[in-house]
């Protein structure tokens, strides 16, 4: 029922596509973000000294803008940044530690799987409890902090199907008569299947993949999935939330609406994350800046990412995730994709 | 001739782009050293190398004409090109012409190896010579810019901290390298550049671009994941691959305009 109630409120805006409803929701979200939740940078200590950050490539340019803003605000901070693919940097951190070297003070990764590589190697410092407590329930970890999230969604075309036709159980999608778009080669899709494997088991996941594969149309990426739904080529798709929101922001009358499953891999929230590799006040306080009200709101409104600090409004066009019940899963366990890729190959999806 | 003029147009644009502060990333076959970061000081050497290569090319063609394909030793063309420093000078300064040189080398070699009439071999020889002189002109122009301090130093490390419009420039540059590697008969390297560019550069900007023009992003996603890899895998001609890349670069130019406009509207973090 909870899901249905939420869906109803979301779909009210989705059904009136291109009307001021969408815009008013966006405005409401933005204004709320500046009023409640999070700690303002005005109340954070000034950062000073040397700090080396390993930055996994992310939302092109916007993470850089955040870092530049933090540097500008803290002129006594000497921030050195090493950039690279997230997984490669995680491997570097582990390799450096094995060689007895710790070059990085902070690691900011675009996906939690890479964080898992570092925390599993016991290289991350325990974070202060007040910092963990800023994060929403289900996203509090002792030695790393999720920064922003993205949620798995079922984008659908309201001209072709009604919200009631979309199953609230991701496993039931396999038995529905809906035509489906998916992007099996896409990294986010593979993380979603990893979550399904962990939650439902190998056999059920294999069955689901085989069944969906019979009716699914494959696309190179998840934007392609969303666009196919919008054009009416299929009824429903499997994609991260931000493609639909971005499409809506540029094309308010797009024929797309979002549905969410309940408490399963279909509504998995994965996240970017940050951890400290050295026990240093500057490193810990730097993480506080990333969790600040201003940075969280900026990433929500500009990058359409989901703030994971309590009380910060979601991106324009997305209802509060407190109404959604994502599965309880340790995000760092999504690191190892190999069994997922093997399974997908075995059933002929890849 | 049309392609020749088009390439000169691209050349001029490339040097305009080079006056920006963006570092030029290189992954040339040859060593990155003094000879690419002091072009002016090596112009005489480059001129001698191009002349030497063209003389040797002519000797190979004459041998083919008088003694046949085996005596021509067409493999010498690749060996000669690999040993000249000019090779990495043009590869780091203007990749599209570098690709044309490899295309020309294989054009002559194939014509000889398949025992084409001498008139056909001479046609390929003329195209190769044209590309070589064009390349020398490009390096001379680059030397002038470098002398004035307008050309970024060639580095072997990866380009860092690009703005979104700069990322588009870097993607276009890497697509030129795709054509070059394909012309060099290294299709796996070409495919690897395509995947790497999509994953590490294009995916970083597509989010911002979707809100501006979702159809354009979808089109480019298809190009990166289907059209270009298919062209590279299906033994297309270098010209066909170049056409796909030039089509993508045109779309990327449109994307750049949209991203510049969008960046102006972005709010401040604090």
ipTM: 0.77
Q: Which of A112, A214, A120 is nearest to A173 (CA)?
A: A214
Reported as a single tens digit per residue, the pLDDT across A99-114 is: 998 899 999 998 888 8
Reported as a single tens digit per residue, the pLDDT across A268-279 is: 999 999 999 999
pLDDT-derived band at A58, boundaries 50, 70, 90: low
pLDDT at B168 over 70: yes
> Tell me, what's the pLDDT at A32?
40
Least confident of A130-134, A257-261, B160-164, B262-266: B160-164
pLDDT at A31 over 50: no
Cβ-Cβ contacts under 8 Å for A166 (sequence gap 6 or more):
A154, A156, A178, A236, A259
Q: How far is A251 from chain B (nearest CA, A)?
A: 7
Cβ-Cβ contacts under 8 Å for A319 (sequence gap 6 or more):
A6, A9, A10
**CA–CA separation, B180 vs B96, rounded Å?**
7
3-class secondary structure, B192:
helix
Q: DSSP assignment of A15-38, as one string?
A: HSTTSHHHHHHHHHHHHHHTTSSS
Rounded mean pLDDT of A172-180? Answer: 95
Cβ-Cβ contacts under 8 Å for B60 (sequence gap 6 or more):
B72, B73, B74, B76, B77, B108, B112
* Chain B CB within 8 Å of residue A108 CB: no
Q: How far is A25 from chain B (nearest CA, A)?
A: 17
Q: How far from chain centre, in Å, is Cα A195? A: 14
Q: How far from chain centre, in Å, is Cα B45? A: 22
Q: Taking CB atoms and an 8 Å limit, are A294 and B200 in contact across chains?
A: no
Phi, psi of A200 (to 5 degrees): -110, -15
- Percentage above 70 pLDDT, chain B: 82
Q: Domains in chain A and their CATH numbers? A: 2-29+150-268+336-346 (3.40.190.10), 41-149+271-318 (3.40.190.10)
Which of A44, A53, A60, A85 to mutate against chain B (most B CBs within 10 Å)?
A: A60
pLDDT at A330 over 60: yes
Cβ-Cβ contacts under 8 Å for A201 (sequence gap 6 or more):
none
pLDDT at A184 over 80: yes
Reported as a single tens digit per residue, the pLDDT across B59-117 is: 999 999 999 999 999 999 999 998 998 998 888 888 999 999 999 999 999 999 999 99
Give the dihedral of Cα atoms B218, B221, B223, B226; nearest 10 deg.
-110
Q: Taking CB atoms and an 8 Å limit, are A61 and B205 in contact across chains?
A: yes
B266 vs A58, A302, A304: nearest CB: A302
CB B269 within 8 A of CB A295: yes
> Tell me, what's the pLDDT at B89?
87
Work out the angle between the directed axes of helices A222-231 and A241-250 (0-180°, nearest 10).
Answer: 50
> Tell me, what's the pLDDT at A321?
64
Q: Taking CB atoms and an 8 Å limit, are A247 and B214 in contact across chains?
A: yes
Q: DSSP assignment of A212-243, as one string?
A: HHHHEEE-SSHHHHHHHHHHTSSSEE-EEHHH
**CA–CA separation, A93 vs A55, rounded Å?**
12
**CA–CA separation, B65 vs B116, rounded Å?**
10
> Tell me, what's the pLDDT at B159?
52
pLDDT at A44 over 90: yes
> Tell me, what's the pLDDT at A320?
63
Q: How far is A66 from chain B (nearest CA, A)?
A: 6
Q: How far is A92 from chain B (nearest CA, A)?
A: 16
Q: Which residues of A touch B267 (CB under 8 A)?
A: 298, 301-302
Q: Taking CB atoms and an 8 Å limit, are B199 and A85 in contact across chains?
A: yes
Q: Which of B174, B260, B247 is nearest to B209 (CA)?
A: B260
Q: Which residues of A touch B199 (CB under 8 A)?
A: 85
Q: DSSP assignment of A268-296, as one string?
A: -EEEEEEEESS--HHHHHHHHHHTSHHHH
- Percentage above 90 pLDDT, chain B: 57
Rounded mean pLDDT of A42-52? Answer: 97
> Tell me, what's the pLDDT at A153?
96
Cα A168–A173–A174 angle (5° rounding)? 150
B167 vs A60, A221, A304: nearest CB: A60
Rounded mean pLDDT of A16-42? Answer: 48
pLDDT at A20 over 60: no
H or E segment to which residue A155 belongs: strand A145-156
> Tell me, what's the pLDDT at B35?
63
pLDDT at A165 over 50: yes
> Tell me, what's the pLDDT at A130?
93
> Tell me, what's the pLDDT at A3?
39
Across the A:B interface, residue pairs with CB atoms under 8 Å apart total: 86
Arithmetic mean of pLDDT over chain A: 87
> Tell me, what's the pLDDT at A63?
87
Reported as a single tens digit per residue, the pLDDT across B192-230 is: 999 889 888 898 888 889 989 988 998 998 899 889 999
Of the CATH numbers 1.20.120, 3.30.410, 3.30.1490, 3.40.50, which one belongs to the domain with range B29-155? 1.20.120
Q: Taking CB atoms and an 8 Å limit, are B269 and A69 in contact across chains?
A: yes
Reported as a single tens digit per residue, the pLDDT across A219-233 is: 878 888 999 999 999
pTM: 0.74
Least confident of A27-31, A158-162, A199-203, B123-127: A27-31
3-class secondary structure, A54:
strand
**CA–CA separation, B140 vs B144, rounded Å?**
6
Task: Please state, as a whole number, how many other Cβ atoms lie within 10 Å of the Cβ of residue A78.
Answer: 14
Rounded to a whole number, what is the distance in angstroms from the first to the last CA of chain A? 36
What are the residue ranges spanned by the domains of chain B?
29-155, 158-262
pLDDT-derived band at A83, boundaries 50, 70, 90: confident
> Tell me, what's the pLDDT at B249?
98
Reported as a single tens digit per residue, the pLDDT across B131-145 is: 999 999 999 988 888
Q: Residues 181 to 200 of A: which have CB under 8 A from any B CB?
A: 185
**CA–CA separation, A65 vs B263, rounded Å?**
11
**CA–CA separation, B197 vs A119, rounded Å?**
29
Look up residue B252 and give its two tokens.
């990327």
Q: Which of B96, B73, B80 is nearest to B11 (CA)?
A: B96
């Amino acid at each position: 029922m909870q899901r249905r109630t939420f869906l109803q409120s979301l779909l009210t805006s989705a059904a009136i596509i291109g009307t001021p409803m969408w815009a008013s929701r966006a405005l409401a979200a933005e204004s709320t973000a500046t009023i409640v939740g999070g700690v303002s940078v005005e109340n954070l200590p000034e950062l000073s000294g040397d700090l080396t950050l390993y930055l996994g490539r992310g939302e092109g340019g916007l993470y850089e803008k955040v870092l530049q803003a933090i540097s500008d605000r803290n002129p006594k901070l000497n921030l050195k940044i090493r950039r690279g693919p997230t997984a490669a940097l995680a491997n570097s951190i582990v390799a450096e530690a094995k060689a007895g070297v710790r070059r990085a003070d902070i690691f900011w990764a675009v996906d939690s799987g890479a964080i898992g590589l570092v925390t599993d190697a016991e290289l991350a410092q325990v974070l202060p409890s007040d910092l963990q407590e800023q994060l929403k329930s289900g996203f509090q970890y002792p030695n790393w902090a999720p920064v922003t999230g993205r949620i798995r969604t079922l984008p659908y075309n309201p001209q072709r199907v009604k919200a009631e036709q979309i199953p609230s159980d991701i496993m039931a999608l396999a038995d529905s008569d809906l035509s489906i778009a998916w992007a099996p080669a896409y990294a986010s899709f593979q993380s979603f299947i990893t979550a399904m494997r962990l939650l439902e088991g190998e056999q059920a996941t294999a069955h689901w993949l085989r069944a969906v594969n019979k009716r699914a149309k494959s696309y190179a990426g998840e934007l392609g999935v969303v666009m196919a739904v919008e054009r009416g080529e299929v009824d429903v798709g499997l994609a991260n939330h931000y493609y639909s929101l971005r499409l809506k922001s540029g094309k308010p009358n797009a024929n797309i609406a979002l549905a969410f499953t309940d408490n399963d891999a279909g509504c998995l929230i994965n996240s970017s994350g940050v951890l400290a590799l050295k026990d240093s006040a500057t490193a810990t306080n730097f993480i506080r800046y990333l969790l600040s009200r201003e940075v969280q709101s900026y990433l929500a409104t500009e990058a359409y990412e989901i703030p994971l600090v309590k009380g910060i409004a979601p991106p324009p066009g997305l209802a509060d995730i407190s109404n959604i019940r994502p599965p309880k899963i340790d995000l760092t366990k999504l690191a190892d994709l190999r069994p997922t890729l093997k399974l997908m190959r075995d059933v002929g999806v890849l | 001739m049309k392609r020749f003029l088009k390439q000169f147009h691209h050349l001029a644009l490339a040097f305009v782009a080079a006056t920006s502060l963006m570092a030029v990333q290189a992954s040339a076959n040859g060593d990155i050293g003094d000879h690419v970061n002091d072009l002016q000081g090596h112009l005489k050497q480059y001129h001698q190398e191009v002349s030497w290569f063209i003389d040797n090319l002519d000797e190979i063609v004459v041998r083919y004409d008088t003694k046949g394909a085996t005596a021509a030793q067409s493999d010498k063309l690749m060996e000669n090109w690999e040993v000249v420093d000019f090779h990495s000078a043009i590869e780091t300064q203007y990749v599209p012409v570098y690709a044309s040189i490899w295309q020309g080398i294989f054009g002559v070699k194939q014509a000889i190896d398949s025992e084409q009439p001498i008139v056909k071999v001479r046609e390929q020889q003329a195209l190769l010579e044209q590309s070589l002189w064009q390349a020398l002109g490009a390096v001379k122009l680059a030397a002038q810019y470098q002398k004035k301090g307008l050309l970024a130093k060639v580095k072997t490390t990866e380009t860092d901290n690009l703005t979104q419009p700069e990322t588009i420039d870097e993607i276009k540059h890497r697509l030129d390298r795709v054509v070059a590697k394909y012309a060099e008969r290294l299709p796996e390297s070409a495919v690897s550049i395509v995947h790497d560019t999509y994953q590490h550069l294009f995916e970083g900007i597509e989010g911002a671009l979707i809100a501006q023009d979702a159809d354009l992003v979808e089109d480019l996603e298809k190009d990166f994941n289907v059209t270009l890899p298919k062209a590279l895998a299906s033994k297309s001609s270098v010209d066909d691959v170049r056409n796909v890349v030039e089509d993508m670069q045109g779309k990327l130019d449109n994307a750049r305009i949209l991203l510049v406009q969008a960046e102006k509207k972005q709010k401040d973090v604090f």
